[in-house]
Chains A and B, each alone.
Chain A
């Protein structure tokens, strides 16, 4: 079946260090979304990437969608304690479905 894997599963960083999580799909995606879930909370939408090779930035966060539309990455520059949480990618495999396939998530812990 269709799978979306993320690495690493966990990442512990010192505040101020950079962080990257990678998302890999077994099939080509029509688009990809990223969500953040704070501890004890629910996922909150961050961004959507649609075009092959697309790069988008939100302050310290940089999102990329691979040329083959099968992988994506999220990079955080100079992490802060507010970045703590689990980051999920979620891919849509077809243009005519609302169904998303969520990645396994990367849990980020930031030490002050």
Chain B
């Protein structure tokens, strides 16, 4: 059964702690993405990766870090430097653009992070 998994679904942390969110896909997609969604708002891109061992900052990368050591995995670390980390985090993957064609993104179920 192909898809994207994110774990855990809910995560609670104390302020000042780093926390890593997991994202795994078995769709054989080259591209992976992390978005942040705040209540009643759209999706804002944190980081994306179009190939293993390479990633690019999105619009709100400050206070976050990522790695892409394997095609299937794209973990996101929310560091203590992130001022307002409480949010819903969505991971997505897609095929990469090719010959002018572009492809839809498949989203995981999300992780709801609460930092107090």
- Interface, chain A (partner B; CB < 8 A): 1, 6, 30-31, 33, 35, 41-45, 48, 88, 90, 92, 95-105, 107
Contacts and interface: CB of A to CB of B under 8 A. Distances in A.
Contacts of B90: 42-43
B106 A45 contact: yes
Contacts of A96: 97
A93 to B, nearest CB: 11
Contacts of B104: 33, 45, 48
B105 A100 contact: yes
Contacts of A103: 42
Interface residues of B, number: 28
Contacts of A35: 105
A52 to B, nearest CB: 14
A43 B43 CA distance: 10
B75 interface: no
Interface in B12-55: 31, 33, 35, 40-45, 48, 50
B31 A98 contact: yes
Given A43-B90, A44-B107, A45-B105, 17 more contacts: A1-B59, A30-B102, A42-B108, A42-B109, A43-B43, A43-B107, A48-B102, A88-B42, A98-B94, A98-B96, A98-B97, A98-B102, A99-B56, A102-B42, A102-B44, A105-B41, A107-B40
A44 B104 CA distance: 9
Contacts of B59: 1
Given A105-B42, A107-B40, A95 B105 contact: no
A43 B97 CA distance: 20
B102 A102 contact: no
A42 to B, nearest CB: 4
B63 interface: no
B110 interface: yes
B90 to A, nearest CB: 6
Nearest to A50: B102
